[in-house]
Amino acid sequence: MIFVGFEKVKLRITAFYDFKARYSNRKTAIYYNLNGLTPVTGLSTYNMTDKLKILHITESFGWSGGAAQALYLARELRAAGQENIIACPAGGDLGRKAAAEGFEVVHFRPRRDYDIKTAFALARLINERKPDVVQAHHPKAHAMGLMAKFLARHKPVLVVTRRVSHPIITTFFARLKYQSRLIDGFIAVADSVRAQLLAYGLPPERVRTIYSGTDPARFFPRPPDPAIVKELAPPPGCQVVMLVGNFSAHKGQHVLLKAAKLLYARGLDFILVFAGRGTDSAELKALFSMEGLPPEKGRFLGLRYDVEKLLSAASVSVNAAVKGEALSGSIRESLAMGVPAVASDISGNSEIVRDGLTGLLFPPGDHAALADRLETVLRAPALRARFAENSVATVREGFTTAIMGRRTLEYYRELLGKSGGRRR
């Protein structure tokens, strides 16, 4: 029964997609819902200075870079005078943080990409609150936002952010998910991600690159935090190599461990610091031991919310991701603090780590190349100082939360103008 019902929804989605394609050139849009194809009209003139109501949707429960970016964006939009509603798991990290900051939080936790019950609930919320823009921040939110807009009488502008560079699958539902004209625009967090979406068949005018942002009021150059130095307890004169990122195969902690083995054999003295969800796990500690690394050189901190304090003690910051990374948050934050970066040359990393100017790049997965780049940075204080100066300027000129917020709001207004008006 569930399958049959799902097939009916699938057919109606397809029919709606075809209808939109045929009539998308009309000046006054006409939308149809599932209740007997009832027309829904009533577009009002949009003024570029109007206060907007934005509904952010994300399934993010634990804290992550994407969750942080959703909250950063809501903060910047609120500072610009816009109204924000955040639909997310109410008991999750983002939900708790957003509520503590005074944002309206609505519980939203889909079980899968096409959770029909959650889609109807989201459609009811859209009908009740009538947002001008629905911003989907993560994959399930993308699918739910698309279905909810289809089901709802009220038709907001729907914007989807893509934050990863994993290949996009080519099934029927995946193509519908990305190519549906119910989606007004995509935000790619790096030019490399935008190129991936264009290669998938999206027209250039529907995809805008807006870099994820770093808060310069939180991440700025400073002396090492005394409490962190005490916690890490590096021996005198010992440098600190730090990788901030949740523990997983694609984040490349294993690549750094292999590189460290080579560097210790060359006589370099440093401690390895891992921070992020799962970095205090027995699995990562076992990998450390399997490489034969000195036990006293490892620090396994787990998930931390004081990343800016941790980075203040770093000599160099590493991103060793082997796939999936779009624009590393930990690297942006490191550069904002003047911490030199060594990063794998994948996706958006090269858009912020400018090789030889703000840091060094290495081929993804190549631990020997990573060891060489780290040795270059660790042995050259003058080079680190030059990288630090260039890095801070790079972030402040193009990668702050304020710039992200301003460009996103401009994009919302542009899409509202193109869509013919505000929906009331």
Q: Which of 40-54, 201-215, 240-254 has the lowest mean pLDDT?
A: 40-54
Rounded-to-integer distance, Cα 108 and Cα 59, Å: 7
Rounded to whole angstroms, the Cα distance separating 212 from 401 reads 7
Residues 193 and 207 reside in one and the same domain: yes
Token readout for 227 is 């409490």
Dist. CA 15–CA 37, nearest whole Å:
11
Question: Is 241 within a domain?
Answer: yes
pLDDT of residue 279: 98
Question: Residue 176 is which amino acid?
Answer: L
Contact 165, 323 (CB under 8 A): yes
Q: Are residues 191 and 249 in the same domain?
A: no
Q: What pLDDT does 421 receive?
A: 58
Tell me if 218 is assigned to some domain: no
Residues 320, 371 share a domain: yes
User: How much is the average pLDDT of 33-39?
Assistant: 29
Per-residue pLDDT, 68: 94
For residues 304 and 245, give the distance between their C-alpha atoms in angstroms, rounded to a whole number. 10
Cα-Cα-Cα-Cα dihedral sign, residues 112, 116, 119, 121: negative
Q: What is the pLDDT of residues 330-363, one digit of tens each?
A: 999 999 999 999 999 988 899 999 999 999 999 9
> Which CATH number characterizes residue 111's domain?
3.40.50.2000
Residue 188 half-sphere exposure toward CB, CA atoms < 13 A: 24
pTM of the entire predicted model: 0.83
Co-location of 255 and 200 in the same domain: no
Question: Which residue in 123, 122, 128, 73 sits closest to 101, CA to CA?
Answer: 73
Please check whether residue 10 lies inside any domain of the structure: no
Instruction: Quote the percentage of the chain above a pLDDT of 90.
Output: 79
* Same domain, residue pair 55 and 166: yes
Instruction: State both tokens at 254.
Output: 């294993």
**pLDDT-based confidence at 50, cuts 50/70/90?**
confident
Gap between the Cα atoms of 131 and 56, Å rounded: 10
Q: What is the mean pLDDT of residues 369-393?
A: 97
Q: Pairing between strand 53-57 and 133-136?
A: parallel
The Cα 247–Cα 325 span in angstroms is 13
In a domain, 373, yes or no: yes
Residues 266 and 172 in one domain: no
Residue 259 and residue 201 in one domain = no
The answer to whether residues 144 and 152 touch, using CB atoms and an 8 Å cutoff, is no
| Residue 169 clears pLDDT 70, i.e. is over it | yes
Q: Residue 422 pLDDT more than 90?
A: no
417: containing domain: 22-213+402-423
Cβ(156)–Cβ(180) below 8 Å:
no
Say yes or no: 36 and 123 in one domain: yes
Q: Which of 167, 142, 146, 164 is nearest to 155 (CA)?
A: 146
- Residue 145: the pLDDT is 97
Q: Is residue 367 part of a domain?
A: yes
pLDDT over 80 at 117, yes or no: yes
Q: How many domains does the chain have?
A: 2
Asked if residue 136 has pLDDT above 80, the reply is: yes
Identity at 338, one-letter amino acid code: G
Is residue 299 one of the residues assigned to a domain? yes
Residue 247 within a domain: yes
- Grade residue 45 by pLDDT with cuts at 50, 70 and 90: low
Same domain, 120 and 243: no
User: What average pLDDT does the segment 140-169 reach?
Assistant: 95
Residue 285 within any structural domain of the chain = yes
Q: Which two tokens stand for residue 55?
A: 């509904």
What letter would DSSP give residue 400?
A: B
- The mean per-residue pLDDT over the stretch 20-31 comes to 32
Q: Is there a single domain that holds both residue 239 and residue 150?
A: no
Is the same domain home to 196 and 232?
A: no
pLDDT at 227 over 50: yes
Mean pLDDT of 50-68: 94
Question: Do 233 and 354 sit in the same domain of this protein?
Answer: yes
